[in-house]
Structure 1
Amino acid sequence: MVTYARQRNPKLLIALDMKDERLAKAKEFGADIVWNPSKVDVQAEILKLTDGYGCDTYIEATGHPSSVIQGLQMVRKLGRFVEFSVFAEPTTVDWSIIGDRKELDVLGSHLSPYCYPYVIEHIADGTLKTDGVVSRTFPIEKWEEAFEYATGKYGDFKVAITF
């Protein structure tokens, strides 16, 4: 997501994650600034960087309810909030922020069949960076072990199953 966002040429690309190793990868892939919300008051830092306005666009890609609330607080009035996650539990927000207080442009986005040709082409030509994202591969016979490692509890970003 970071390497694609970098292609859109934002003035400043900031990545947030609770895991420092993911932040290091985001920096490698093109983020200008990386912050861990458990260590930095990200909302205060965004307001400092933007003279109190907030960010133009916030892309929520964690699937965690707290990130939705955080994003709605950080995006500026008339800004854009993009939801790009699958949630394990319902998320509730104060809809007054979206309409009455900030007049936000709220978009939903997720993978579609139309994105695969673009992604495959640009991974192949190197314009979408992927080095180090897949940290382990497993033969199909070890699919259960692969799913165990895919949880992330062993420090893996992503795992792949080979045939």
Structure 2
Amino acid sequence: MVPERLELARGYGADVTINAATEDAVAIVRDMTGGYGCDVYIENTGHPSGVTQGLQMIRKLGRFVEFSVFGSETTADWSIIGDRKELDIRGAHLGPYCYPIAIDLLTRGLATSNGIVTHGYALEEWETALAVANSLDSVKVLMRPGFRGNAA
């Protein structure tokens, strides 16, 4: 976890941020909820440990939303999902219905990409853009025809 990204989350209104690399996220959430667990867990790390962590952290009858793209096959303990916790599992990954809502919110100034889109490149600079996107130096990278300058 990159500390600057946690700071960005706080800037966007997160009351609590947890660095799972240095803190026991499951214990913190259990403590915050009196041992109950979280109502909703959104997995967006793309790492198998995020799935395991979520299954441990979420409450019985909670909702698990999978938003990641994994680089390889990922397994889960289905006895937790179906038997012990009876979870509501949802898949979500930028369906076409999301774009009009996001564009509307950005257009009306009700949402911003400031701080999230950290780098911008013209399409001709795609190799550099992809290298930056794959580094920990960026949050999101914008590529656009004719783009000039940095998005940050």
Deviation at 1:128, TM superposition (A): 2.1
Hey, which bits of structure 1, 4+ residues long, moved more than 3 A? none
Q: Mind listing any 5+ residue stretches in structure 1 that lack a counterpart?
A: 1-17
Deviation at 1:141, TM superposition (A): 1.9
Deviation at 1:59, TM superposition (A): 0.5
How far, CA to CA, are the matches of 1:110 and 1:68 in structure 2?
A: 16
Which residue of the other structure, out of 134, 139, 147, is the alignment partner of 1:157? 139
Letter in 2 for 1:45: I
Query: In the TM superposition, what whole-angstrom CA distance separates every residue of 1:2-40 from its partner, at most 9, and x where no partner exists?
Result: xxxxxxxxxxxxxxxx11111111111121100101111
Percent identity, aligned pairs only?
Answer: 52
- Under a length normalisation based on structure 2, what TM-score does the superposition of the two structures give? 0.90
- Under a length normalisation based on structure 1, what TM-score does the superposition of the two structures give? 0.84
How far, CA to CA, are the matches of 2:119 and 2:30 in structure 1?
A: 39
How far, CA to CA, are the matches of 1:162 and 1:96 in structure 2?
A: 46
Deviation at 1:126, TM superposition (A): 2.2
How far, CA to CA, are the matches of 1:109 and 1:140 in structure 2?
A: 27
Deviation at 1:161, TM superposition (A): 1.7
Task: Write out aligned runs for 1:42-61 (5 A).
Answer: 42-61=25-44
SS class of match (1:81): strand
Q: Is the 8 A contact 1:53 1:76 kept in 2?
A: yes
Query: In the TM superposition, what whole-angstrom CA distance separates every residue of 1:105-128 from its partner, at most 9, and x where no partner exists?
Result: 111111111111110111122222
How far, CA to CA, are the matches of 1:135 and 1:40 in structure 2?
A: 26
Deviation at 1:142, TM superposition (A): 1.4
Please give the root-mean-square deviation of Cα atoms over the aligned residues, in Å. 1.1
Q: What number of residue pairs does the alignment pair up?
A: 145
Letter in 2 for 1:116: Y
Task: Write out aligned runs for 1:83-102 (5 A).
Answer: 83-102=66-85
Which residue of the other structure, out of 49, 56, 60, is the alignment partner of 1:77? 60
Q: Which residue of 2 aligns with 1:142?
A: 125
Which residue of the other structure, out of 88, 102, 119, is the alignment partner of 1:105? 88
Deviation at 1:100, TM superposition (A): 0.9
